[in-house]
Amino acid sequence: MTNTQKIGFATAISLVIANMIGTGVFTSLGFQVLDIESGFAIMMLWIVGGILSLCGALTYGEIGSAFPQSGGEYNYLSKLYHPSVGFLSGWVSVTVGFAAPVAAASTALGLYVNKIYGSVNPQILAVSVILLLTIVHSINLKLGSAVQRAFTLIKVVIIVMFVGFGLFHHPEHSVSFSPTSESFSQMMSSAFAVSLVFVTYAYSGWNAAAYIAGDLREPQKNLPKALIWGTLIVMVIYTALNFIFLYSVPINELKGVVEVGYLSANKIFGSDLGRFMSLVIALLLVSTVSAMILAGPRVMHAMGNDIPQLKIFSTSNKNNVPYVAVIFQSVISIVLVLTSSFESLITYVGFTLNLFTFLTVFGIFILRAKHKEIKTEYKTPLYPIPPILFLLISGWILFFIFKNKTMESLFGLGTVAFGFLVYWISEKYKQNDN
């Protein structure tokens, strides 16, 4: 691939932002306030989630600079631990890691539009969006990159406008963001840890640029920059956006509601303009779906290059787009749209993906201990504080997810176990061929 066909820093950072700003921030607050009613505790949820993601991005920057190939965790864990660990990570990414968030984002889009126009079938709309973006990203990397940059820019501008108008809104209800003894006790509860599942899901995507490192110009320099700056921008946006949601809508009205942005827009702009703004928010989710359809198949492509049994996923067209992997991921997404519930989907994916980001961040200690010959342009600032902080918070989240959402967690572990079976069979085939 020539340098002109490679992805630049602007597309890389837009990919990070687009992957992160999507379903979670517009849908998860309604589940969080079911058990946490303190405005201060809710805001701390999003700040802790942002710090966690930033610590991850700071650490991934060094690992990605050391191994600047596409594939994300599949690439990193294969080199830092063992090919089997990398395969399991890739297996999760291939089966649900990207397909499920694509399904969740497109489902949320359908629900938002259905709330405004009741005649629109949310599932049909969700499937249609996936199909359209699959076609775009199966044809040409340059076209897909241009679509991605445009949607992301529009998304950020509209969210900033939404926050700006929200600050001038005068709510009819009283709202407090001051810390109290009750808010601190809620922050130490299992409900806070489980709510962090939704928050970490909303922040998931901070590592998106790692999946396309092989397609980046100057990946050793641009990958860390895209990860860190993309995460910082989103952290500010998320904190401001959730402040506006809580400021504009009473907590009792938010409880259990998926379409949080719709409620907030109605309060800020009135019913007519609120409907229009809700439609705009729904369209912003197109950017999220697009980003994951662009990034996810690069993992399958990397696995197809390494594993003979998955060689079909390495198939690319004349524009170097892994179109078979793109189509395969979208087929899984469509099946999930038609069969899965929104909340269980997020919990299941959140637990499974957190397992492998935990292992990847821990891998920086292995990188520095066993791969001293690798000299990187980027080093994790304040090392070892960011990886240790990430591991402590992430481990705490995993423990409480398993404790409180055991069934979804077991499904996640079952997916990993089945992946290990697939790896074992593929290794047996290799041995027999030799």
pLDDT class for 119, splitting at 50, 70, 90?
confident
Q: What confidence score (pLDDT) does residue 1 get? A: 46
* Residue 279 pLDDT > 70: yes
Cα four-point dihedral sign 165, 168, 172, 176: positive
Q: What confidence score (pLDDT) does residue 141 get? A: 62
Q: What confidence score (pLDDT) does residue 81 get? A: 92
What mean pLDDT do residues 2-28 have? 70
pLDDT class for 98, splitting at 50, 70, 90?
confident
Under 8 Å between Cβ of 77 and 356: yes
What mean pLDDT do residues 380-388 have? 91
Q: What confidence score (pLDDT) does residue 366 get? A: 94
Of residues 85 and 3, more confidently modeled: 85
Residue 250 burial class via C-beta count within 10 angstroms: exposed 0-12, middle 13-18, buried 19 and up: middle
pLDDT in tens, 304-362: 777 777 777 777 777 667 778 888 888 888 888 888 666 666 677 777 878 888 999 99
Instruction: Please give the CATH topology (third level) of the domain spanning 3-427.
Output: Amino acid/polyamine transporter I (1.20.1740)
pLDDT in tens, 44-90: 889 988 888 889 888 988 888 888 776 678 888 988 998 888 888 88
pLDDT class for 114, splitting at 50, 70, 90?
confident
From the list 294, 363, 288, the residue with the least C-alpha distance to 322 is 294
Taking the whole predicted model, whether its pTM rises above 0.85 is answered as: no
Q: What confidence score (pLDDT) does residue 37 get? A: 80
* Residue 106 pLDDT > 70: yes
pLDDT in tens, 350-379: 778 788 889 999 999 999 998 888 877 788
* Residue 394 pLDDT > 90: no
349: three-class secondary structure by DSSP: helix
Report how far residue 351's alpha carbon sits from residue 336's, in angstroms, rounded to the nearest whole number: 17
From the list 47, 276, 267, 275, the residue with the least C-alpha distance to 175 is 267
Tokens standing for residue 347? 């919990």
Q: What confidence score (pLDDT) does residue 169 get? A: 84
Give Dmax (Cα) for the chain. Answer: 74
Q: 164-173, 185-194, 270-279 — which is least confidently predicted?
A: 270-279
* Cα–Cα distance list, 204 to 24, 186, 200, 271, 393 (Å): 9, 24, 6, 32, 15
From the list 295, 223, 185, 172, the residue with the least C-alpha distance to 64 is 223
Report how far residue 303's alpha carbon sits from residue 186's, in angstroms, rounded to the nearest whole number: 43
